[in-house]
Structure 1
Amino acid sequence: MNQSEKAAAFAAMHVKGDPLVLFNIWDAGSAKVVADAGAPAVATGSWSVAAAHGYQDGESIPLELLEVVTSRIAATVDIPLTVDFEGGYAAGPEGIAANVGRIIRSGAIGVNFEDQIVGGEGLYDIDIQTTRLRAAVQAGEENGIMLFANARTDIFLKERDRSKHPALLQAAKDRAAAYAEAGASGFFAPGLVDIDLVAELCAASSLPVNILIMPDAPSHADLAKAGVGRISYGPGPYRRYAAMLADMYRTAMEG
């Protein structure tokens, strides 16, 4: 498949009630392992990519290096690649369009694009974020692909007290609707794990909803019943890999 065909194929993988499961990777080697195991697509996680290259999360890894990582993954696996692009490495729409274009030309057909202010406090106002999102979508058009813009809201992730999540649901619905109007392809709500709230969000959103697997998250089957269209594992795989590597080292030293 060429890049445009990969983009179309990736979009078609998102079906409400039959979610695409993405076991997030961090470099070309991990991408090949997951692809060879049968994955239909690969997705990076920003935390994992940063950690694998000695950086903290939050756009600390240089954009130039992220381009290299993206290009190596795209050259290594012949399946769709979506990149966790955090806040687009820019505040304004012109910078976002330019940066998303760079990632597309590196081989990606999708991006996660979040509404938290990276390096700052809180979330972007909806109107500002929709302008930023439109710029990302436009970058796909300018580069000849149907970019899968997975619009992420950090409403739930920033509120660790899950008893307060029901009160945040309407705000999430409002953002989902606004992001859909701006051209988003999916809506990512990391931190939301209450299955009833997940189902309500899925019912309200015209976009396929993406849920992050984390402690106490519902099972794949329950998320599918709730209408989820995509399931992500985020930094979990890298953390498990790092723990396994440390255990292997300690075992080797005992020999």
Structure 2
Amino acid sequence: MTSFRDLHKPGQPFILANAWDAGSAKVLKSMGAQAIATSSAAHAFTLGRPDGLGVTRDEALAHAQDLVAATHLPVQGDFENGWGDDPDTVAQTVKLAGEAGLAGICIEDLKTPSFAAYDRDLAIERIRAAAAAAHALPRDFVLTARADGIMTDTYNIDEAIARLQGFEAAGADCLYAPMPKSMADVARICASVAAPVNVLVAGPIYTAQSISDFAKIGVARLSLGSALARATQRVLHDAAAQMFDATQNGGSFSLLGQSISSDKVDALLT
């Protein structure tokens, strides 16, 4: 099996498939996924919580271990801000993630739950501590550093690039700025750093692209975030609306007739 680190090749992006339980992880593996990631939002949905309320570190670690056991593919943890503001807490989160069998984690530069950005120097120091902890682990571990301020309109592309360059210098293995304003901005990010770059495939700009489009500008990894889980929720929503909203359509069940067969699901799971 190709190692998680070796999958990261600029210009040859692979899909890091975000799963939300053992079943979805197994289906994604059967369909061709080379690596799995958790999604903090998708995991929260399975717990009956809205995106934003989040999960605890212990919950996230236990959930990640379930995905590791489900497929034996490399698994990355979506570990938000590392469950602490100070660098030592982030380093401890990395240590625990390695002990849980994860192949890597991503760490954000936003405070939880306010989503205010850490000062750049502190954000870099947090990644430096995380990288030191990752390098001390007995097995290879890929640390992804995230600059989330573009997505939240906290800072602009120039600040994001400055942070990503700082994260790279601090020892991050992969760099990630979710939801830049354009593909041109993604190309600019890729050109500004040497480390592999991850792109979130969500929203109208990025879901309209092909893998080859991302390859041309030097992207190394394509993650889905909660997009696939939200697509699944959309099917649940639409089928339930059709069934229960009798005033609109008479309580139709036609969408259930479009479901995948049990035999196909069983085959994917086994």
TM-score (norm 1): 0.87
Name the structure 2 match of 1:119: 113
- Secondary structure, counterpart of 2:205 in structure 1: coil
Name the structure 2 match of 1:88: 82
**1:98-247 maps to which residues of 2 (within 5 A)?**
98-159=92-153, 168-218=156-206, 219=209, 220-247=211-238
Gaps of 5+ in 1: none
Are positions 1:43 and 2:37 aligned together?
yes
Mark the structure with the bigger radius of gyration.
Answer: 2
**Which consecutive aligned stretches of 4+ in structure 1 deviate over 3 angstroms post-superposition?**
56-59, 246-255
Over 3 Å counting, the alpha-carbon distance change for 1:151 and 1:254 in structure 2 is same
- Secondary structure, counterpart of 1:23 in structure 2: strand
CA distance in 2, matches of 1:250, 1:90: 40
CA distance in 2, matches of 1:49, 1:145: 26
What do the CA deviations read for 1:84-122 (whole angstroms, capped 9, x no partner)? 000000111222222222222122111111101122352
TM-score (norm 2): 0.83
Percent identity between matched residues is 31
Kindly tell me the number of residue pairs found equivalent between the two proteins: 243
For CA contacts below 8 A with separation 6 or more, give which structure has more relative contact order. Answer: 1
- Secondary structure, counterpart of 2:204 in structure 1: coil
Shift of 1:158: 1.3
- Secondary structure, counterpart of 2:88 in structure 1: helix
CA distance in 2, matches of 1:99, 1:22: 21
Name the structure 1 match of 2:62: 68
What do the CA deviations read for 1:23-66 (whole angstroms, capped 9, x no partner)? 31112221111011111100111111111112233463122221
CA distance in 1, matches of 2:26, 2:181: 30
CA distance in 2, matches of 1:75, 1:236: 23
CA distance in 2, matches of 1:223, 1:96: 31
Name the structure 1 match of 2:267: none
**Cα-Cα RMSD:** 2.1
Report if the CA contact (8 A) 1:137-1:147 is conserved: no
Over 3 Å counting, the alpha-carbon distance change for 1:59 and 1:115 in structure 2 is farther
- AA paired with 2:176? F
